[in-house]
Amino acid sequence: MKRFNYKAKDKKTGKIIKGNIQADNEQTAGRLLLEQGYIPESVVEEGAGGLFTKAKNRVTTKDRIMFTRQLATLIGAGLPLSASLRTVAEQTQGKGMKQIAEEIITAVESGKSLYEAFSQYPDVFNGVYLALIQAGEKSGTLDLALKRLADQEEKDAAMMSKIRGALVYPAIILVVIIAVLAFMMIAVVPQVQNLYSDMGEELPGLTQFLVNMTEFFGEFWWLVLVIVVGVIVGCFYAVKRTPMGRRVADSFKIHVPIFGALFRKLYVSRFARTAEMMLATGVPMLDSIQISIDAVSNKVVEDEYSKTLEGIKGGKSLSESMQGLEYMLPLVPQMAGIGEQSGKIDEMLGKAAQVYENELDEQINNISTMIEPILMVIMAGLIGVVVGGTLLPIYSLVNSVAA
């Protein structure tokens, strides 16, 4: 399907409107416009667009949440789907989301279901989103499904924002450490070298090492810069484009000190919360668990959680299938077991997710307190080495002169 920009006149109002439409060719696009009550004046295929156009029209999480919540509100108020979509599209501010909303309207008005229309944009609407839309359409609870989606995306966005915020403080401290070390190496160490040269004395071993380091970075700074940039770009490419790189990064997340425990709780709560939404909307058990596993977004954890599917297919209950998994925290299978006995498994999984979300919130708020002593020790050690290589030789030289 190609995308076309059109300019057309509304048969009823006579107003000129502009928009986008998807079709196989210009003739089909014109016919679709006529069927919608518009008289096409121009239909032009849209260009592919370059890198900057794509970045400019990207869909942000905030835009998607606003779109979803507004659509849920309008459908819940009894407005027809097509009218709801048009109203939301008019209110959408982000260019990328607005364009997609207009194309979804075209697809729906041409006879496609909302699920089929959303499925055309897998980069914007993930598997959880599409599964809930499909379940909501089948069960007649589309507004509730959309509201659950908006609520969950808001929670996920808030949680990730808190984790990123917790990383800001350590990053600032590391920058300060590097700046102090650079100043000492550039401004202080050469002065010590000149002083010893004037006195005709041989530099101590530690001071000579710092001098050699200063000279190396001063002469080969470009090589260091190329290596650092190359390593960063290489790691980024490996993580984003290669399965092995992604797996190494995902394994690092769940095993790194301090933050590993945070990520494990994040993945468990995400799994349980998604399973709650899926089961509450009427999605079958196996499909719900599979989608919940995919929503985790960590290949190492996903592979471990996939054993749950094998257990269910083998005749075990969900709670039994989750027991003993390496990265599955114990409260989830326990609450699932209670839910199986009471017939409220979705509700119990939601409560388990809430417990870990609350713990995660508390730990993130305390993370600066946990990391600060470690960073202080690292800073003291590094600066101590530089100070030891600069000030102590000066004291030693002064004492020798005084003697």
Q: Which amino acid is at 240?
A: K
Nearest-CA neighbor of 258 among 94, 87, 374, 133?
Answer: 374
Rounded to whole angstroms, the Cα distance separating 28 from 21 reads 10
Is the residue at 54 inside a domain? Answer: no
Same domain, 263 and 324: yes
Q: Which residues contact 78 (CB under 8 A, 6 or more apart)?
A: none
Dist. CA 375–CA 335, nearest whole Å: 38
- Same structural domain for residues 271 and 356? yes
Tell me which residue range forms the domain holding 304.
259-365
**Residues 64 and 43 grouped into a single domain:** no
User: Helix 331-342 crosses helix 345-365 at what angle (to 10 degrees)?
Assistant: 150
Q: What is the count of structural domains for the chain?
A: 3
Domain boundary among the residues 152, 168, 189 is at 152
The 10s digit of each residue's pLDDT in 158-215 is: 877 877 777 787 788 778 878 887 887 787 778 777 777 777 667 777 778 878 888 8
Q: Are residues 43 and 64 in the same domain?
A: no
Closest by Cα among 300, 364, 16, 395 to 164: 364
Task: State the pTM of this model.
Answer: 0.67
Query: Which range, 21-30, 59-68, 178-187, is most confident?
Result: 59-68
Query: Which of 108, 129, 152 is the last residue before a domain boundary?
Result: 152
Is residue 9 in a domain?
A: yes
In a domain, 243, yes or no: no
Q: Does residue 209 belong to any structural domain of this protein?
A: no
pLDDT in tens, 1-10: 667 777 777 7
Examine the domain organization and report whether 73 and 146 are in the same domain: yes
**Residues paired with residue 9 on neighbouring β-strands, in sequence order:** 16, 39
